[in-house]
Amino acid sequence: MSRHSSSTGTAQAAVMPARLPWMALLALAMTGFICILTETIPAGLLPLIGDGLHITTAMAGQLVTLYAIGSLVAAIPFAMLTGGVRRRPLLLAIIVGFLVFNTITALSTSYALTLIARFFAGVAAGAAWGMIAGYARRMVPDALKGRALAVAMVGTPIALTFGVPVGTLLGDQIGWRAVFVLMSFLALILIGWVLWKVPDYPGQPANQRMTVRQVFVMPCMRPILTVVLTWMLAHNILYTYIAPFLERSGLAGRVDLVLLVFGSAALVSIWIVGILIDRILRMLVLISLSGFALVSIALWIGGTSVTIVYSAVALWGFTFGGAATLLQSAQANASGEEGVDIAMPINTTVWNLAIACGGIVGGALLELLGVQSFPGALLILLIVSLMVAWSASKHGFPGKQ
């Protein structure tokens, strides 16, 4: 880092608040909320969307696929192209993207146009996930960076917990197009919120930005990304196919309640992680992975018991709620301020890859071996993840924060 950038960083640190800038961080959380909501809302509305566009439910399901593809392919290139752009105008452009493409989705009568809109909404999401973490961390001094990221990420479990059920209910009452209009309205509110409360920061000069290769070859990156891939793959195998898995315990008709238990526990988790992350990040990662491994064992042994399933799902949510914050904080700490804006898009890419692979691997297990094979597959992945995290005490998940 140059002497000028070092002195600038010192000057910025001197004027940073000693407490969290809640309104600014919650605006970032609202951005994440809209990202997740835009991604997941169609899942609960597929029959209605199919009827509205005169397509099959399976074809309507591709609205989710195209969004995921957009996020997957855009995160890293977008970060490389916009690294020098000022942060607030870039964030506003991303939010305008959600406004525009959700509005097109709401108004479109063409299946092809709707798919295009969904792809570019996914691009906006990939761009957002690539910058939220770095943006949140720039608002606070070092001692509060983990806590700031936890606040900025709180929109994710809220959207996962309440977004799809509420969106599905609203879709039944007012129609699926009106739900997308409401999401556009949320984006409009967020634009005003960002202009009002979110501070602006300069992008990084070209001579200070790290390349994808420079970040990827850091000794800390591969252990962290391995944990991201294995942990999220295990999670998505179960989360994607939770409905068929619950048939063994007779809870297939209570998926909504089961996911509410999961999401509520996740909210508690993210609150606890936010308090402790700046002191014991490594311990929290190891506890979360160990807890999820216990979940897989409990489901393996007692997957037909209603009581065990509900208890395991609560523990699963508790171990997962802070995962994004923990893993992104580990990457941000490891990559430093110069590499964080590249490290986060790499994280986003691997995370979305795990989501896609979760659907593929889970589907193959379901067809070939049945849902009873899920807990064993989860346990293998989590043992690998736990071993990598444990061994990365020097690079990746250091014991001393």
Domains of the chain with CATH codes? 20-197 (1.20.1250.20), 212-391 (1.20.1250.20)
Q: What is the predicted pLDDT for the residue at 197?
A: 96
Q: Which pLDDT score is estimated for 227?
A: 97
What is the torsion angle, in degrees rounded to the nearest 10, for the CA atoms of residue 292, residue 293, residue 299 and residue 302?
Answer: -120
Whole-angstrom distance, CA of residue 389 vs CA of residue 66: 32
Distance between CA atoms of 189 and 172, rounded to whole angstroms?
24
For residue 34, the surrounding DSSP H or E stretch is helix 22-53
pLDDT score at 16: 57
Cα–Cα separations (whole angstroms), residue 355 to 91, 117, 229, 333, 339: 25, 21, 9, 24, 25
Residue numbers of the chain with a pLDDT score lower than 50: 1-14
pLDDT of amino acid 9: 44
CA dihedral 386, 321, 45, 50 (to 10 degrees): -30
pLDDT the model gives residue 14: 43
